Chains A and B, each alone.
Chain A
Amino acid sequence: MLLARIKDRVAEERGRFSTLILGTTAAYLFMGVAAAVAWSATGQTAWIEYFFQIPGALLLVWLAVAEMALGIRVWRCFGAGEPLRRAWLFIVCSSASAVLGYLYSQLLGVSSKLNPLSHMSNPSPALIQRMRELGLLLGGTVRFAFLAAGLSCVLALYRRSGFMGRLRRRDWLLLGALAVYLVVEYGDVLVALRAGTRFSLSTILGWPVDPLLWLLMGEALLIVRSVQKTGLGWIGRCWAAFSVAIFLTVLGDVGLLATAYDYIPWPLSAVTWFIWMPAAAAFALGPAYQLEAIQMASGELPERRRWGNS
């Protein structure tokens, strides 16, 4: 009986991109935890460095590629003039920026065996640094600007359909706290500018990242409230995945700052490195769930088990 149900469940999940994304990310996280345990037991940082430089970097690139490829498939499911076509175009541009961002920052912008620049006879550290900065710009400002535009189209559709939720008091408190964080951060920049500090172009181009993350956080909260209002269906799950991805990205961003200011002691701060993997997985799950909903509606994929059915 139990075996039959497991078999049914496995058959149901076969061929679904969401299952592949979740399974692969879980396997990598398990490997990451094993590397962290080995590092803790032996005291050799090579374990964790190797994990993040090779398998971890490859996972991030793969998830971004999956997000982009699935996003293109979803975009093609919407005809000209349909409200979500524009949203998915922006999301595809966002994921394409993420792919390039990860390629530059995780592969070309680090000294690892995966980096073809490292195999040159005399690799220039300045060139590698440039690659990293370009990757952070593409994967930061550019990516989040496109994503914010895409999610605003989604919210417009929720509003038009009458399913738009409302922010609650704790949502406003969270946004307020993040706004205070932004004001403090930009206050520091202003003080540094007045003191005559000269910032590099790549640093300046990275300044919009945090305001964009604040905007995305607001959109993510509104999406969550809207999805809650609908009662969470297969369609809502797609947008909820994007919201989770944004929450994790903001958490990772705050974690980076907290580590930089020594608010999180070493080695606890290493935990924040793992956040980017589930965040990237949640970004890839968004188009995966949307595509599955479209395929189930079209009869191309068997419907998932419904609530109340055993």
Chain B
Amino acid sequence: MEPHPDPAPARSEPETPGGIFAAMRQWRAAANSAGKVGPTLHRRVAVELRPYLGSSAAGAVLDDVSDSSANLLSTIEPVLAGFLGARAASLLVSRIVDTLIVNN
């Protein structure tokens, strides 16, 4: 007897909560290895911030960012806005995001 062909094609999105978490872990691992979250990203952001804030200040600001980088932008933008103004800070952060996350 022939095996019954699977009527539904293989789906990329997970169906169960466990599957969602697994996919998130997989995505985070991939993003981490690509330097889009986590310590690698923090180091690269620090390199971008260093000329403006100074090396120690750039490192200190990024110390407050969680490992998941979830609060990265909300942490660095107010500090930059304080010293450069909101408009310039927003443009700088957008450029950093474009360079390090979107176009990377």
Determine which of B50, B52, B58 lies in contact with A297 in the assembled complex, contact meaning CB atoms within 8 Å. Answer: B52
Contact A82/B53 with A297-B80, A297-B92, A298-B91 known, Cβ cut-off 8 Å: no
Segment among B14-22, B30-38, B82-90 that sits at the interface with chain A: B82-90
**Least Cβ–Cβ distance between B34 and chain A, in angstroms:** 23
**Least Cβ–Cβ distance between B55 and chain A, in angstroms:** 4
Interface residue? B57 (CB, 8 A): yes
Interface residues of A (CB under 8 A from B): 77-79, 82-84, 157, 160-163, 227, 229-236, 293-299, 303-304, 306-307
Which residues on the A side are within 8 Å of B87 (C-beta)? 77, 79, 298
Residue pairs across A and B with CB atoms within 8 Å: the count is: 85
21 contacts between A and B (CB under 8 A): A77-B85, A84-B83, A163-B60, A227-B54, A230-B54, A230-B57, A231-B50, A231-B58, A233-B51, A233-B54, A233-B57, A235-B54, A236-B54, A293-B83, A297-B52, A297-B91, A298-B88, A298-B91, A299-B91, A306-B50, A307-B51
Which residues on the A side are within 8 Å of B84 (C-beta)? 77, 235, 293-294, 297
Cβ–Cβ contact A293 & B52, under 8 A: yes
Determine the distance from Cα of A261 to Cα of B50 in the docked complex, in whole angstroms: 48
Q: Which of B70-99 contact A (CB under 8 A)?
A: 79-89, 91-92, 95
For chain B, the bracket of interface size reads: 20 to 34
Please classify the interface of chain A as helix (H, G, I), strand (E, B), loop, or mixed, using the class held by over half of its residues: helix
Determine the distance from Cα of A306 to Cα of B53 in the docked complex, in whole angstroms: 13
**Least Cβ–Cβ distance between A199 and chain B, in angstroms:** 43
Which residues on the B side are within 8 Å of A235 (C-beta)? 52-54, 83-84
Determine the distance from Cα of A157 to Cα of B95 in the docked complex, in whole angstroms: 25
Determine which of A161, A230, A298, A306 lies in contact with B92 in the assembled complex, contact meaning CB atoms within 8 Å. Answer: A298
**Least Cβ–Cβ distance between B62 and chain A, in angstroms:** 13
Interface residue? B104 (CB, 8 A): no
Give 5 A-B pairs besides A233-B58, A235-B84, A307-B50 with Cβ atoms closer than 8 angstroms. Answer: A157-B83, A161-B82, A297-B80, A297-B91, A307-B51
Cβ–Cβ contact B52 & A234, under 8 A: yes
Determine the distance from Cα of A296 to Cα of B83 in the docked complex, in whole angstroms: 13
**Least Cβ–Cβ distance between B47 and chain A, in angstroms:** 8
Determine which of B55, B56, B86 lies in contact with A79 in the assembled complex, contact meaning CB atoms within 8 Å. Answer: B86
Q: Mark B22-34, 1 if CB is under 8 A from A, else 0.
A: 0000000000000
Which residues on the B side are within 8 Å of A229 (C-beta)? 56-57
Which residues on the B side are within 8 Å of A78 (C-beta)? 85
Cβ–Cβ contact B88 & A294, under 8 A: yes
Determine which of B51, B56, B57, B85 lies in contact with A294 in the assembled complex, contact meaning CB atoms within 8 Å. Answer: B85
Contact A84/B82 with A77-B87, A297-B89 known, Cβ cut-off 8 Å: yes
Contact A161/B79 with A231-B54, A233-B50 known, Cβ cut-off 8 Å: yes
Cβ–Cβ contact A231 & B88, under 8 A: no
Determine which of B57, B58, B60, B85 lies in contact with A84 in the assembled complex, contact meaning CB atoms within 8 Å. Answer: B85
**Least Cβ–Cβ distance between A304 and chain B, in angstroms:** 7
Contact A163/B57 with A234-B52, A297-B91 known, Cβ cut-off 8 Å: yes
Cβ–Cβ contact B54 & A297, under 8 A: no
Cβ–Cβ contact A303 & B56, under 8 A: no
Determine which of B51, B56, B79, B85 lies in contact with A234 in the assembled complex, contact meaning CB atoms within 8 Å. Answer: B51
Which residues on the B side are within 8 Å of A83 (C-beta)? 82
Interface centre among A83, A161, A236, by most B CB within 10 Å? Answer: A161
User: Which residue of chain B has its CB nearest to the CB of A239?
Assistant: B83
Give the 8 A-B residue pairs with the shortest CB-CB distance, closest first: A231-B54, A230-B54, A230-B57, A231-B55, A233-B54, A231-B56, A297-B92, A297-B88
**Least Cβ–Cβ distance between A242 and chain B, in angstroms:** 14
